[in-house]
Amino acid sequence: MSSKKKIVLTGGCGFIGHHFAEYIHKNTDWDIIIIDKLSYAAMGLNRLRNNLLINSPRVKLFTFDLCNEISEGIEKEIGNDVNFIVHMAAETHVDNSIKEPIKIIKNNINSTVNLLEWARKLSNLEIFFYFSTDEVFGPALGDTLYKEWDRHKPTNPYSASKSAAENICISYENTYKLPLMIVNVMNAFGERQHVEKFIPKCIKKVLNDELVNIHSYPDKKESGTRFYIHAQNIASAVLFLIQNGSIGEKYNIAGEEEVSNLDLALLIAQAVGKELKYEMIDFHSDRPGHDLRYGLDGKKIYELGWNPKFDFKKSLEKTVKWTLENLEWLEE
């Protein structure tokens, strides 16, 4: 591959998206085209202002809702010489998908189809990169770790919409020879995350001496677990796969370490320097459609030669420290 490329990134103002945009801006000389509808989760342009990407001559931003067909004007502005499309844009909050399933399902499927329709017109496209979630596989009981091509069993409207979009992408690969690659990713965290997510929400509650709800098994003695991964590790994995992965393949980007919800909250409280006040909540009654444990087998990408750049506990401490120095990111 020659070094000078053009990449289109959807959802580039979102949490993982802006981290990926920052990472490729630092580690390539590619031109970066961001398409984002600037929903509440994008937090306007604040993330791109904060990491200074908004000032870069290599970055172009189009404010556009991909639930609509891509207009001829935007097609003309972007041009036909796109090498990579990384589709990260999605409604990702499970609670919102339970409250408004039709809205979330339509958004995540229609935006993907409209992007696919445009992508198959592009003569220089090397990779259409679909960004999915560990939740498509459903609960990972015991010590289960799902491999890339294991069956899907989504348990809420959000994960069902991502599973459906994955399969639509695969249909375009089969029907139109679209150069497809898919990743499934575990729980991301890092700087500038929306306060609705557990880690920034926990930081805020600990700071304010408020009770933190810990989702647990019905006996309320054991909390659920997650594999967490810093967004910059995800960004490095995606770029690595663009450069080293195989068309037609799926890859899991797994968290570095499995951590219980309670242990995570305790680590956050320790980093904040305050005592944790918490209550164990039966997840079935409090959060229908959620699973207490997800698990991905990430060996495939490791065998290609990728390794995470940041250790979980160190990157968690760094995230808490950054958040304490930038408290405006904890505002609703």
Q: Which residues are catalytic?
A: 134-135, 158
Give the Å distances, CA to CA, from 269 to 25, 265, 273. 33, 6, 6
Tokens, residue 270:
């320790």
Close Cβ partners of 256 (under 8 Å, ≥ 6 residues apart) = 227, 228, 229, 233, 308, 311, 312
Q: Which residue has the tokens 């189009």?
A: 62
Strand (E) or helix (H) holding 93: none
Read off φ and ψ for residue 171, nearest 5 degrees.
-65, -35
Q: Which of 330, 201, 179 is CA-nearest to residue 278?
A: 201
> What CA–CA distance (Å, rounded) separates 46 from 324?
17
Read off φ and ψ for residue 318, nearest 5 degrees.
-65, -40
